[in-house]
Chain A
Amino acid sequence: MENKIIPYTMLSEALNSTQELIERILPEYGMPSLRIGLEKINSVLDDYLQKAQEGFPIVGYHFAFPGEYLQCYDCVPVCLEASGYFLATLLLHGVEKYYDLIANFGHPYHTCSAQKASMAFTLDDLFRFDAIITPTAPCDSTCASYPFFRYEGKFPLIIADLPFRFDEKGYEYYGNQLKLSLTKLGKEIGQEPDYKKLKMALELENKTNKLQLEIFELAKTIPSPIENMYNAVSAATAILIPGTIEKYEFYKEMLEIAKYRYRKKVHHGGEEHIRSIWPYMLTFFDISLCEYLDRELGMSILFDIFNYNFSDPINTRSDLNTMFYDMAKKGMGWPMVKQSIEFYYPFINDCVRFAKEFSADCFIFTQSLACKQFGTVPQLLKEALKEIGVPMLIIEFDVGDARMTSLATMKEKIKMFSQTLL
């Protein structure tokens, strides 16, 4: 059978070689999050590739659509944003050539590189989906770029309208949208939703969430028992392998390591000099920045946007409507979605609170080119943090495209900023 998800094969191969390098080169306890994370992700990807070979329908999904919701179908879930970003991370020369390919097609340079790569993969016939499902949030880039898949890729595009109102009314509306869109998806791929399977995936996610929350709490201690790399790998597991036992195991093992370090007061980089909070994203074009900060600057990244958003557990024991309501709450509280559909006030208040609770020395706000929905918050946040004496560095960059702000520039900026803190 033809391979309809070649980028996942590329990802799997890149993961294999990276994993091999880690196993062979790093000492046994070096960067455990990367070692464990890659192993777990690889295992799930192998399974997906196998299922794709067997002819299961390929369902593309936006990262803001919690992927575990797709487990009510026998399908191969493929995260469009994760595909590009993790190839950007793992391929030696990144995925810039794909960004150029879609730019030559006429896609504006200022849209999100998260979608650019998958659009180019589609243009290059590397991706063939049986359907794609997406919410209408978090950003203009999503709303603007996804129609490409319908009109150019000719893939059925199913849209769940995510209301820009973070309240009861919004949860009910989105719960209904989730139900409708999943039903539509089922029709598109010729399957009935298996809610029993969905409930199992949700319950597993509930348990995983609990572990994440514990790790998050441990990051409050000094020194932080969480290595910076954890944040990047955790983001990958969250959007690439949701609702799987492997994801659960990743957090379980990471929690054990964090607890050990906490008891021993050990810091991954040796000594913690600066405690930083990254309220937005890390670089995905080169995650070695995480290790550089830990080891060279003694700067802990206590968490980034993918690692501080926690929703209430989804009630799977009541009726379906309640379950969908909770699923909506989770979807609307998803990293970046929550901050996008809400006004800035809670985001700023949360950051100020986190700064105190986590004894942060500074904030680093990475303003991505594509994220217009965040383009007016950095200065407001900087001013709010200044009032409690916490400085913030703003770096404009592209999460996936190394050409906009290079790793060297980022390192230099952070280094200079850190010197003002010490």
Chain B
Amino acid sequence: MRLVALLGVFAAVAALALGTSFVLFPTTHLEQVVVWQLRAPRLLLGAAAGACLGAAGLLLRTSLRNPLAVPELLGVSGGAAAAVGTCIAFGLSVPGAPLTPALVGAAVGGALTLLAVRGAKGPAAVLLVGAAVGSACQAVLLAATAMTDSREQGVLVRYLLGSLTGTTWSALVPVGVGLVVAVPALVAVLPRVRLLRLGDEEAMSAGLRPGRARLAALATASLLVAVVVAQAGPIAWVGFFAPALAERLGRSGVVAAASVGAVVVVGADVLARTVLYPIELPVGGLTAFAAVALGLLTARKRVRV
């Protein structure tokens, strides 16, 4: 965890200092604007997004006792993105947008997948059904993109992979509002989720209603994902690999999963901005790449064992 903290500090400094102009100590007015009006909110949004996705991934996989039950595979991220994208493409004005459509989409996507999975046992079933729901969401989003003019297509691309481009302080307001609800919900649901790890009968014997607890976990995870997706799109696979990476570092707690998520997104965004400079890559593309690498690593290890 010390390593994660160190990397976090490093990534945060890099996020503030690197870019068109290298600025470590902003002195001129322009430098101050670049650092405090452009890079700082982007850093905060990236950290918040990574933390939310990491926490949501941990909630889902723990409460469903399935390492593959993560927002990206449960249709939660895809549902949120499709809902927001559709609203933008058709110019629907929804009160509280983009947070409300994201929340509805996340909940519907997750519920659809879980209903379809119902009865089928094992992580593999979630993988297959989740992939189907995920593709369906992606198809909705692509269809919406195809139907809009080019100016809005740029906006919609964000909801395909996730991007932090053009973050301002005002973009952080709905995130803050979402977090005011999501963080207490997370705190309240955590002890219940921990109890679910022991098995349904054990949890019930200890005084929990497993069905209700699982529903609360799903709702909380949907909220956490919606907060992120509404602003930055579904930053790909962070909900999958942040808890997995934290677990490999020997930590199974929510703080670890959230920290790893935050560091990964901030770090990936620094790379997204600088690697092909002046072209900006969507941060979700880089995190997706990292997830593939981690997946291969894990798969190789499993085969060896």
A and B pair up: no
Q: What is the interface of chain B, defined by CB distance below 8 A to chain A?
A: none
